[in-house]
Amino acid sequence: MKFASFGRERDLSMIEEYVVDPELKARYLKQTAAAHDLNEGIVTADAFIDATREAVLQSTQTGRDAPLILLARVARYYPECLGLWDELAESQDWQNRFTVACRLYGAVPDAVSDRLFNRLRNDRSKRVREISICRYENRANEKGEVAFGVYDSAQFDERVRKGEVKI
């Protein structure tokens, strides 16, 4: 199945037009081309994962948004790409773990988010712990409505024990 886009040419031209930093532009172009190549069956998911890894790991915190948004879009149709979230969550760099924590239960599917939350809620970085708990407790419910404070992070282990959450 293919992910929705405005087309390769349009996506690439938007990057060319709006991204000023030449290094960042090159990484975005490579990742976007790999995504479209994957969509067309020219390359495997590994090529897209490699391009995304390069785009994310070599970018500043603010420069990671575009590649991670594209990763979230592509991973809906190519779940093998979700492994990159695990890679970032296991990183020695707290900023990589923080990047994952900020996107729990939004850009990352709930089942994967639960597994990552289980790891990040006990992270050695206070910022990572706090944001992952916040993302768990203040997220969309089953109807897609944001439900502030509905989920209690202290009850996570109990939900796992009952089988409501699978890790």
Residues of the chain with pLDDT under 50: none
Contact 66, 101 (CB under 8 A): no
- Read off the pTM: 0.88
CA dihedral 51, 122, 140, 32 (to 10 degrees): 0
Check residue 105 and give its pLDDT: 92
Check residue 148 and give its pLDDT: 84
Give the contacts of 90 (CB within 8 A, at least 6 positions apart): 119
Check residue 2 and give its pLDDT: 77
Check residue 132 and give its pLDDT: 97
Check residue 130 and give its pLDDT: 97
What percentage of residues in the chain have a pLDDT greater than 90?
72
Check residue 147 and give its pLDDT: 80
